[in-house]
Chains A and B, each alone.
Chain A
């Protein structure tokens, strides 16, 4: 059953259009991650759903009910803010109980709910502390607790982990995922961190300059990026893009330095000489004894893996991720495996699948 539905949602601030028509349909209990570079409109999208901003056009439906006439408080939505937005003058207990008190909930029930959430989040010992007496991770938990006690129909997460240090972020990421699964509440999660996006989302929505570029499962986004932007954004180190031209028949391309690469999955449409962009992920470039030469420029050891950045025969940079330590010498030989190639149109950047 659809829980949250967005229909052609648009937002402009004055003459500046920030969101250009978002259509979205979330299943009940689904966690959808909205990912994109900063300024792509992802936070605005969240604020529209929360009711903190008014959409320029389009509709938002939650469980079939139009949210437009409803005040943020009446929407049955809870939000976790980027800077936690805790009430600095209230104790942890009061921070969580505030919304419940306003709703006129009886005191014993408030105590029970806050107690339950605090136990779940490991905050039971800290209920009488003020936010300034807490660490970043604990504040983050209080912000989550404040959302949980409301038992809303929808959770909104606005980059909730971006203020934590790297180690804590990984830990909280797992915790959020566990919590969301356990509570089964439909969630929208905004982040610019592709690792968070990949690990947390049931599905991803990639936004680019206010336009939805791809909506799919994390693996699908990774394996079949819809365009060069998604290809370059998801995956680290970023995908390599090589300019190429289509050969007659559409079954192969010629790279800038003359090498010909056949397509493993079928011919592409288009005339001979069509300009293409061939994407290949650094981890899919194989090192071989003889093949395309790469002049090594920079080596980044990551421990179990090594990223090698070098120059191709045409001078373009290419990054390669290999298992184990860096190879000796100033040059290595590569094989660009046809089954790992992503084909994009050079002009529009859109993915080009085999003609059927």
Chain B
């Protein structure tokens, strides 16, 4: 599998690496460095001068009950999105793995949501759930359930969780389908002959063999829920009503771009960067185990 190319000079390899290196520097290293620098500064309200304040921004941040509440809200949101998206992806993959008609068609259709832009996905869900114009929203109100996610915090949370999970289900579906197909057919047949049926067979044979996939997806889904859901949430609720759907990334954007508190926003970005580094390490650990196992 391993392919290696040996270059005789240094010019060509450097040229080949250069575009990627430039992208990394311009779009990652430079902004990250800037964020780290500005997280230690305090800017005056007009943005004219800034002064070095050390770790004061971080101290303020963790002393702020609103920020701590946002952390917990983000944890809840990530847990809900990951659980829902992984469970739905697994159920759909199991359903599409069986011998059914139009199996190929189902598989293609189930992958589509992944290709939809976050903002479009948000609008789709608004059109379904809006209390006045949404099909489901109007129906809920008509049967006597007071539904308005623009006013009710828990309802708003439910809506962004639904929309965010929906977008991730396709991704999980593909991995679970591949995972299911890599289980040898004979193993399932052996389980059938041993007398394992239905859910028992799933719990004792299929699920243990899918566990590596579940772990891998858990990390990927957590990263997705924590960072990639900005577009969906911002387009649907902008973190509202109140702060009921404000996750960490929304708060970074609101504090930094909307409220122009560059120092605090940068400090929050640095905290998030720490989080993503941690998750990436976890992911590499699991990826390593996936290829090393079995």
- What residues of B have a CB within 8 angstroms of the CB of A123 in the complex? none
- Residues in chain B near residue A74, CB distance under 8 A: 195
- From A96-104, A273-281, A293-301, give the one contacting chain B: A96-104
Closest to A81 in B: B186
Asked if A52 meets B192 with Cβ closer than 8 Å, knowing A73-B197, A87-B205, A88-B209, the reply is yes
A271–B107 Cα distance when bound, in Å, is 65
Partner of B195, one of A50, A86, A88, A99: A99
Q: Complex Cα distance A77/B189, Å?
A: 13
A88 touches B194 (CB 8 A): no
For residues 201 through 246 of chain B, which have their beta carbon under 8 Å from a beta carbon of chain A? Answer: 204-205, 208-209, 211
* Pairwise interchain contact A85-B194, C-beta atoms closer than 8 A: no
Q: Are B187 and A86 in contact (CB under 8 A)?
A: yes
Chain B CB within 8 A of A83 CB: yes
By the criterion CB–CB under 8 Å, are B195 and A132 in contact?
Answer: no
Give the distance in Å from the alpha carbon of A204 to the alpha carbon of B192 in the complex. 28
Measured CA separation A186–B237 after assembly (Å): 70
- Report if A82 contacts B (CB, 8 A): yes
Residue of A nearest to B186 (CB): A85
Q: A87-B205, A88-B209, A102-B200 are in contact. Are A78 and B187 (CB under 8 A)?
A: no
B interface, size bucket? 10 to 19
Distance of A73 Cα from B193 Cα, bound (Å)? 5
Q: Closest approach, in angstroms, between the C-beta of B166 and any C-beta of chain A?
A: 31
- Please state if B194 and A98 are interface contacts (CB–CB under 8 Å): yes
The residue on B at minimum CB distance from A97 is B194
Q: Which residue of the partner chain A has the closest CB to B293?
A: A132
Output the least CB separation between A74 and chain B (Å).
Answer: 8
A82 and B192 CA atoms in complex are apart in Å by 16
Asked if B187 and A85 make an inter-chain contact with CB atoms under 8 angstroms apart, the answer reads yes
Question: Are B195 and A83 closer than 8 Å at their CB atoms?
Answer: no
Contacts of B162-210 to chain A: CB distance below 8 A: 184, 186-187, 189-197, 200, 204-205, 208-209
B8 within 8 A of A: no
Chain A nearest CB from B213 CB (Å) reads 13
Q: Is A118 in the interface zone, CB < 8 Å from B? A: no
> Does A79 count as interface, using CB distance less than 8 angstroms?
yes
- Count of residues in A whose CB is under 8 Å from the partner chain: 25
CB of A72 within 8 A of CB of B192, answer yes
Q: With A and B bound together, what is the CA distance between A50 and B192 in angstroms?
A: 10
Residue A81 contacts which of B190, B205, B209 (CB distance < 8 angstroms)?
B190
A269 and B278 alpha carbons, distance in the complex (Å): 88
Q: With CB as the reference atom, state the residue of chain B lying closest to A156.
A: B193
B20 surroundings in chain A (CB, below 8 A): none
Q: Counting CB contacts under 8 A, is B294 at the interface?
A: yes
Q: Is the CB of A88 within 8 A of B294?
A: yes
Q: Are A102 and B189 neighbours in the complex by a CB distance under 8 Å?
A: no
Cβ–Cβ contact A78 & B193, under 8 A: yes
Q: Kindly report which residue of chain B lies nearest to residue A103, judged by CB atoms.
A: B195
- Are B194 and A99 interface neighbours, CB within 8 A? yes
Q: Which of A50, A51, A87 contacts B187 (CB 8 A)?
A: A87
Q: How far is the CA of A62 from the CA of B193 in the complex (A)?
A: 16
Q: Which residues of B sit under 8 angstroms from A167, Cβ to Cβ?
A: none
Which residue of A82, A89, A103 contacts B208 across the interface (Cβ within 8 Å)?
A89
What's the Cα separation between A146 and B190 when bound, in Å?
10
Question: Do A73 and B184 form a contact, CB below 8 Å, given A81-B189, A87-B190?
Answer: no
What's the nearest-Cβ distance from chain A to residue B15, in Å? 44
Within B34-67, the residues touching A (CB, 8 Å) are: none
CA distance A103 to B200 in the complex (A): 13
B189 CB contacts on chain A under 8 angstroms: 50, 52, 72, 79, 81, 85
- Closest chain-B Cβ to A340's Cβ sits at a distance in Å of 43
**Bound: A146/B187 CA distance, A:** 13
Contact (Cβ within 8 A) A102 B294:
no
> In the bound complex, do residue B196 and residue A83 qualify as a contact, i.e. CB atoms below 8 Å apart?
no
Decide: A102 near B194, CB < 8 A? Known: A87-B205, A132-B294.
Answer: yes
A239-B192 Cα distance, complex, nearest whole Å: 42
In Å, the complex CA distance between A72 and B189 comes to 9
> Can you spell out 20 A-B residue pairs with CB atoms less than 8 angstroms apart?
A50-B189, A52-B189, A52-B193, A71-B192, A79-B190, A81-B189, A82-B186, A83-B186, A85-B186, A86-B190, A89-B209, A98-B191, A98-B194, A99-B193, A99-B194, A99-B195, A102-B194, A102-B196, A103-B195, A132-B294
Given known contacts A50-B193, A73-B194, what 20 new A-B pairs fall within 8 Å (CB)? A51-B193, A52-B189, A71-B192, A72-B189, A72-B192, A72-B193, A73-B196, A79-B190, A82-B186, A85-B187, A85-B189, A85-B190, A86-B187, A86-B190, A87-B205, A88-B209, A89-B211, A98-B196, A132-B294, A146-B190
The 6 closest A-B pairs by CB, nearest first: A73-B195, A99-B194, A85-B186, A85-B190, A89-B208, A102-B195
